[in-house]
């Protein structure tokens, strides 16, 4: 009997040791997971000079001009003069003016001491006025947060509504001080979207914008959001708006991105075949031609990077990996763009996953 | 399922209740037997004690089926001699429904009418009948509609219901009652009450004497456990009998429509949820307004004011009537949704009888004012009845608001007290603001998670509404303490504050101020001063200028 027990014990011992070891590993992994080893595709991407997720800039879609970065840094430390000079010198380049205003407005939505100083020094400066309006709208969206309505508290909605209403007066003032500038009205689209203004009001606002700048990229981007089903329009209205704008615009104006955005915003299928229909192939081809024309005439144009990001995404989905990789290489390093930035914190990781997959498929195809 | 089977099922279910109780007792006894055989010492004694504790509610539950005496809700019994017209109406409707009239009528303070019987032999034999009639119903319903309500209640007892399906009704009512009793004992009412403010507690006590003595001595958990067991059984019981129950409600509605007329019954069904909601609002916002200040409305007005509210808000109520509840109050509610009941009544062929719009049924009473006063004494707790009486509603409002303001503890009070270690005062707050400490102080406010994680301007925008509400209260309290405030009382609008008329105009006062009433311009000055004091770079000058003999900065 005793012998039998000894034999059993001898047999059980390795089992117990193994169980302990597994438990130990499990607990260790649970509390401090070891970093996943760099997989082959990531290494391949790195060999191509593409950056890992942690080195991707999630604040911009493309590298901002050095002068802009300098002006923002100066403003952050309280010196508004470089920003004021940049906006003044920009003149009637509305596209860039709107983009720079958005950057400055975002900064002023955090702290606006520098902007107050600017306003105090130059009371009727139209540039300060437009940044003021933009910053209040930006602050409204900061208060609301980016989550869906049902995850947004009443307090957040109240702050959102209060700020948007306050912004209306500031927008009117900015428009009055610089009547030709579409930027205040572009800002107003985000107010109309947030407050749920009627389609008639939106049409009126749109008329003001297009009479000042018919192919303004930022305005079209914002207006398309308004017409999306999740905001104040519907899938049909959004598709219709995007198609008409893209058809009307000359090649190189980047508005071919609109049908792609409309499609992305209303994409509910998981079926990849839907992305490779002749119609989708044609939309992507038009986008490629548009991007090439824009790159030839004005490679730093705001909006070009966003178009390329979406092109890369859809080219990947269409199994056109070689072409996708080309777009990825042109935008790599800055990922604050659709489709990635809808993933919030995971934007860079998501971008890298799709890009690395593209690298792998492209290498296999060769 | 035939009527016989239904009746049999009802009987089995009712007996099952006793079986459940006996099984529970047997389990407890079994535990004790086991413990006494193998256990020893204090542990065994403790176990014995716990089982006895658990057994008490079970035994009580078995005997609770006999409606305990003196368990009537608070109210006043009215004799036939005192209220001949009410009794005549009650008898007339009972006769029309073909059932025995009640033996007692009890007027209550609730928006409800009910007929009950003291059951005999485990609820198998009928006993004396009582009619409970809520005085708010008398206030809100016309005489014709009151007839419809009574006819519906009697409809449950007419020959249309077989004797044994009356058993279903009784079993359901009684099971509900047992569970209610358990919950009343076990409910965290005590804990919740402690957490709530003095005022809220006083309100509940004022509603009825019922919730006063709540047992907190650790037996709550056992009660709760028993309640859970019985609730499970009741769910089974109700699921089994629900369709019957709802069918009986429809049947009772038909009886009522026959007696009171189709249109009157439909109008009554529409009216009752409206009265119920309005009365709840009336109690919260008007009747119990002064409890925090230990003050009651004039005698007879605690329930009497309801009529004035209904009259003043007639238009608003019209909107409520249009929206009938489509869902039953709970899956176990024996009543079908009101909307469905109204649809069925309105689908009946017209009987040519209009919904006669006579005066309120309250006029049936011999002396409504005296009855309303007597009802107060019966329904309010002894403590509350001894509270002072305001001479009128406007005085009640003023006194209550003054008292509320003087004891207000806003989030800002709390943050300030935590910072300075002193009781929070407006003077102390203004000093902190002048010293540039406003936004630091704001970080100590109880704020939402979103506000707490915000920085810079976003944080200030989150905190500002909280600060503003608090600061406004503190400033109003300052005015109130010097008797400079008054409030506009209205039956149809929320109370509005009336600032002292002669506040100095705001620093940036515009040219139109001359055309405004002094009250409006005071309001404007105050708002502007609050805005300035809570700006990103606060400036309290305007606010200090408004305050009566404000403390000057050192």
Contact A155 B448 (CB under 8 A): yes
Structure confidence at residue B493 (pLDDT): 85
The secondary element (H helix, E strand) that includes residue B134 is: strand B129-134
Do residue B99 and residue B209 come from a single domain?
yes
Which residues in chain A have Cβ-Cβ distances shorter than 8 Å to B448? 153, 155
Structure confidence at residue B121 (pLDDT): 56
With respect to residue B396, please indicate whether it lies within any of the assigned structural domains.
no
Give the residue with greater pLDDT, B321 vs A54: A54
Which residues in chain B have Cβ-Cβ distances shorter than 8 Å to A163? 461
With respect to residue B397, please indicate whether it lies within any of the assigned structural domains.
no
Do residue B385 and residue B459 come from a single domain?
no
Selection from A315, A312, A306 nearest residue A334 by Cα: A306
CA atoms within 13 A on the CB side of B115: 25
CA–CA separation, B502 vs B485, rounded Å?
Answer: 12
- What are the residues whose beta carbons fall under 8 Å from the beta carbon of B103, sequence distance 6 or more? B128, B129, B130
Which residues in chain B have Cβ-Cβ distances shorter than 8 Å to A139? 457-458, 461
Residues in chain B, pLDDT under 70:
1-7, 10, 39-40, 53, 57, 60-72, 117-126, 157-224, 226, 241-245, 325-334, 356-357, 501-519, 549-554
CA B527 to chain centroid, in Å, comes to 35
CA–CA separation, B134 vs B514, rounded Å?
Answer: 53
Contact A110 B450 (CB under 8 A): no
Structure confidence at residue B188 (pLDDT): 44
Q: What is the pLDDT of residues A8-51, one digit of tens each?
A: 666 667 667 777 777 776 666 666 555 555 577 788 888 888 99
CA–CA separation, B295 vs B297, rounded Å?
Answer: 7
Which residues in chain A have Cβ-Cβ distances shorter than 8 Å to B450? 145, 153, 155-156
CA B192 to chain centroid, in Å, comes to 15
Contact A110 B457 (CB under 8 A): yes
Give the minimum alpha-carbon distance from A146 to chain B in angstroms, rounded to a whole number. Answer: 12
Do residue B211 and residue B349 come from a single domain?
yes
Give the minimum alpha-carbon distance from A143 to chain B in angstroms, rounded to a whole number. Answer: 6
Please tell me whether residue B389 adopts helix, strand or coil conformation.
strand
Structure confidence at residue B501 (pLDDT): 66
Closest residue to A155, CB basis, from B450, B455, B536: B450
- Domain ranges, residue B152: 75-390
Could you tell me which chain B residue has the CA closest to the CA of A162?
A: B461
Tally of domains within chain B: 3
Phi, psi for residue A252 in degrees, rounded to 5: 100, -5
- What are the residues whose beta carbons fall under 8 Å from the beta carbon of B276, sequence distance 6 or more? B111
Phi, psi for residue B362 in degrees, rounded to 5: -55, -30
Structure confidence at residue B212 (pLDDT): 34
Selection from A176, A179, A168, A259 nearest residue A221 by Cα: A259
Which residues in chain B have Cβ-Cβ distances shorter than 8 Å to A159? 461-462, 465
Do residue B47 and residue B131 come from a single domain?
no
Do residue B299 and residue B441 come from a single domain?
no
The secondary element (H helix, E strand) that includes residue B308 is: helix B301-312
Contact B461 A112 (CB under 8 A): no
> Is the model's pLDDT at A133 over the cut of 90?
yes
Structure confidence at residue B548 (pLDDT): 72
Structure confidence at residue B199 (pLDDT): 40
Give the minimum alpha-carbon distance from A80 to chain B in angstroms, rounded to a whole number. Answer: 18
Closest residue to B462, CB basis, from A109, A110, A159: A159
With respect to residue B40, please indicate whether it lies within any of the assigned structural domains.
yes
Angle between helices B411-420 and B456-481 (to 10 degrees): 100
CA B314 to chain centroid, in Å, comes to 21
Phi, psi for residue B235 in degrees, rounded to 5: -60, -45
Q: What is the pLDDT of residues A198-251, one digit of tens each?
A: 999 999 999 999 999 999 999 999 999 999 999 999 999 999 999 999 999 999
Could you tell me which chain A residue has the CA closest to the CA of B454?
A: A143
With respect to residue B329, please indicate whether it lies within any of the assigned structural domains.
yes
What are B388's strand-pairing partners?
B295
Do residue B55 and residue B134 come from a single domain?
no
Mutate to test the interface with B, among A76, A106, A107, A111 (most CBs of B within 10 A): A111
Structure confidence at residue A8 (pLDDT): 65
- Describe the strand order of the beta sheet including B129-134 as a list of residue ranges: B75-78, B104-108, B129-134, B113-117
Could you tell me which chain A residue has the CA closest to the CA of B449?
A: A153
Do residue B299 and residue B383 come from a single domain?
yes
B316/A contact by beta carbon, under 8 A: no
Which sign does the torsion angle of CA A233, A237, A243, A246 carry?
negative
Q: What is the pLDDT of residues A274-304, one digit of tens each?
A: 888 999 999 999 999 999 999 999 998 999 9
Which residues in chain A have Cβ-Cβ distances shorter than 8 Å to B454? 142-143
Give the minimum alpha-carbon distance from A139 to chain B in angstroms, rounded to a whole number. Answer: 6
Do residue B29 and residue B144 come from a single domain?
no
Contact B456 A145 (CB under 8 A): no
Structure confidence at residue B161 (pLDDT): 45
CA–CA separation, B452 vs A153, rounded Å?
Answer: 14
Do residue B378 and residue B441 come from a single domain?
no
CA-only gyration radius of chain A, Å: 26
Which residues in chain A have Cβ-Cβ distances shorter than 8 Å to B461? 139, 143, 159, 162-163
B453/A contact by beta carbon, under 8 A: no
Selection from A137, A19, A109 nearest residue B455 by Cα: A109
Which sign does the torsion angle of CA B368, B372, B378, B382 carry?
negative
Which residues in chain B have Cβ-Cβ distances shorter than 8 Å to A156? 450
The mean pLDDT value of chain A amounts to 89
> Is the model's pLDDT at A334 over the cut of 70?
yes
Read off the tokens for B419: 């910072």
With respect to residue B54, please indicate whether it lies within any of the assigned structural domains.
yes
Strand B75-78 with B104-108, pairing: antiparallel
CA–CA separation, B137 vs A318, rounded Å?
Answer: 71
- What are the residues whose beta carbons fall under 8 Å from the beta carbon of B415, sequence distance 6 or more? B441, B442, B444, B445, B446
Contact A109 B457 (CB under 8 A): yes
Do residue B283 and residue B142 come from a single domain?
yes
Closest residue to A111, CB basis, from B450, B456, B462: B456
Do residue B159 and residue B286 come from a single domain?
yes
With respect to residue B238, please indicate whether it lies within any of the assigned structural domains.
yes
B454/A contact by beta carbon, under 8 A: yes
Which residues in chain A have Cβ-Cβ distances shorter than 8 Å to B451? 155
Please tell me whether residue B129 adopts helix, strand or coil conformation.
strand
CB pairs under 8 A between A and B: 36
With respect to residue B395, please indicate whether it lies within any of the assigned structural domains.
no
CB-based burial label for B231 (10 Å; 0-12, 13-18, 19+): middle
With respect to residue B553, please indicate whether it lies within any of the assigned structural domains.
no
Give the minimum alpha-carbon distance from A78 to chain B in angstroms, rounded to a whole number. Answer: 15
Q: What is the pLDDT of residues A171-182, one digit of tens each?
A: 999 999 999 999
Do residue B187 and residue B217 come from a single domain?
yes
Q: Which of B17, B40, B64 is the last residue of a domain?
A: B64
Contact A155 B451 (CB under 8 A): yes
């Amino acid at each position: 009997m005793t012998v039998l027990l000894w034999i059993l014990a001898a047999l059980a011992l390795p089992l117990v040791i193994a169980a302990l070891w597994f438990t130990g590993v499990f607990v260790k992994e649970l509390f401090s997971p070891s970093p996943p080893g760099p997989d082959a595709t990531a290494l391949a991407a790195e060999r191509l000079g593409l950056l890992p997720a942690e080195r991707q800039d999630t604040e911009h879609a493309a590298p901002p001009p050095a002068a802009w970065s300098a002006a923002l840094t100066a403003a952050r430390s309280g010196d508004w003069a470089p920003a004021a000079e940049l906006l003044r010198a920009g003149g009637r380049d509305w596209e860039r003016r709107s983009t720079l205003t958005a950057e400055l407005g975002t900064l002023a939505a955090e702290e606006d001491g520098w902007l107050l100083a600017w306003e105090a020094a130059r009371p009727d400066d139209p540039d300060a006025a437009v940044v003021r309006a933009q910053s209040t709208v930006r602050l409204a969206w900061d208060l609301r947060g980016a989550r869906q309505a049902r995850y947004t508290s009443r307090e957040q909605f109240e702050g959102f509504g209060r700020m948007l209403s306050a912004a209306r007066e500031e927008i009117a003032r900015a428009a009055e001080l610089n009547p030709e500038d579409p930027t205040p009205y572009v800002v107003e689209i985000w107010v109309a979207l947030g407050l749920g203004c009627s389609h008639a009001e939106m049409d009126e606002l749109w008329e003001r914008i297009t009479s000042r700048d018919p192919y303004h990229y930022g305005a079209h981007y914002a207006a398309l959001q308004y017409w999306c089903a999740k905001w104040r329009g519907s899938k049909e209205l959004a598709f219709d708006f995007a198609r008409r704008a893209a058809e009307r615009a000359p090649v190189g104006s980047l508005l071919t991105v609109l049908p792609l955005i409309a499609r992305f915003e209303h994409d509910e299928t998981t079926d990849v075949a839907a992305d490779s229909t002749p119609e989708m192939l044609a939309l992507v081809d038009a986008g490629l031609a548009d991007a090439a024309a824009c790159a030839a005439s004005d490679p730093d144009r705001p909006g070009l990077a966003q178009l390329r990001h979406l092109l890369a995404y859809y080219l990947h989905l269409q199994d056109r990996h070689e072409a996708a990789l080309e777009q990825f290489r042109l935008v790599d390093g800055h990922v604050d763009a659709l489709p990635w930035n809808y993933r919030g914190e995971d934007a860079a990781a998501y971008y890298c996953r799709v890009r690395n997959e593209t690298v792998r498929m492209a290498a296999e195809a060769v | 399922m035939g009527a016989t089977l239904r009746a049999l099922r009802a009987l089995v279910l009712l007996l099952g209740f006793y079986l459940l109780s006996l099984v529970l007792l047997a389990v407890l006894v079994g535990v004790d037997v086991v413990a006494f055989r193998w256990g020893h010492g204090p542990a065994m004694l403790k176990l014995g004690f716990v089982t006895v504790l658990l057994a008490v509610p079970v035994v009580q539950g078995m005997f609770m089926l006999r409606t305990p005496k003196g368990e009537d809700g608070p109210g006043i019994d009215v004799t036939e001699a005192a209220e001949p017209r009410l009794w005549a109406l009650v008898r007339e409707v009972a006769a029309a429904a073909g059932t025995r009239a009640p033996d007692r009528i009890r007027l209550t303070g609730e928006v409800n009418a009910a007929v009950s019987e003291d059951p005999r032999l485990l609820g198998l034999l009928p006993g004396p009948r009582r009619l409970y009639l809520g005085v708010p119903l008398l206030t809100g319903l016309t005489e014709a509609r009151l007839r419809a309500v009574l006819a519906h209640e009697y409809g449950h007892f007419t020959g249309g219901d077989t004797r044994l399906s009356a058993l279903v009704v009784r079993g359901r009512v009684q099971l509900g009652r047992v569970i209610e009793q358990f919950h009343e004992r076990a409910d965290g009412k005590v804990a919740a009450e402690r957490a709530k403010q003095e005022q809220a507690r006083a309100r509940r006590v004022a509603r009825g004497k019922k919730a006063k003595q709540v047992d907190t001595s650790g037996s709550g958990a056992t009660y709760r456990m028993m309640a859970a067991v019985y609730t499970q059984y009741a769910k089974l019981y109700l699921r089994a009998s629900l369709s019957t129950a709802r069918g009986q409600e429809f049947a009772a509605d038909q009886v009522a429509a026959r007696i009171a007329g189709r249109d009157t019954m439909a109008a009554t069904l529409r009216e009752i949820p409206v009265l119920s909601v309005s009365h709840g609002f009336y109690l919260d916002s008007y009747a119990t307004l002064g409890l925090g200040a230990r003050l009651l409305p004039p005698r007879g007005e605690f329930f009497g004011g309801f009529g004035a509210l209904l009259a003043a808000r007639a238009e608003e109520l019209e909107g409520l009537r249009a929206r009938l509840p489509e869902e039953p109050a709970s899956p176990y509610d024996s009543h079908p949704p009101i909307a469905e009941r109204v649809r069925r009544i309105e689908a009946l062929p017209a009987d040519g009888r209009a919904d006669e719009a006579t005066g309120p049924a309250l006029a049936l009473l011999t002396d409504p004012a005296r009855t309303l006063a007597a009802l107060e004494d019966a329904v309010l707790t002894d403590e509350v009845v001894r509270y002072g009486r305001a001479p009128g509603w406007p005085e009640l409002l003023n006194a209550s608001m003054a008292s509320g303001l003087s004891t207000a503890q806003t989030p800002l009070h709390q943050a300030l007290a935590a910072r300075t270690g002193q009781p929070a005062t407006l003077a102390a707050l203004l000093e902190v603001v002048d010293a540039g400490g406003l936004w630091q102080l704001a970080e100590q406010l109880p704020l939402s998670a979103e506000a707490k994680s915000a920085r810079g301007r976003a944080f200030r925008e989150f905190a500002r509404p909280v600060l503003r509400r608090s600061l406004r209260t503190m400033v109003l309290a300052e005015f109130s303490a010097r008797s400079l405030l008054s409030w506009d009382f209205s039956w149809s609008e929320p109370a509005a504050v009336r600032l002292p008329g002669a506040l100095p105009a705001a620093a940036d006062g515009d040219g139109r101020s001359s055309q405004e009433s002094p009250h409006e311009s005071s309001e404007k000055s105050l708002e502007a001063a609050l805005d300035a004091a809570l700006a990103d770079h606060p400036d309290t000058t305007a606010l200090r200028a408004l305050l009566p003999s404000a403390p000057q900065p050192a």
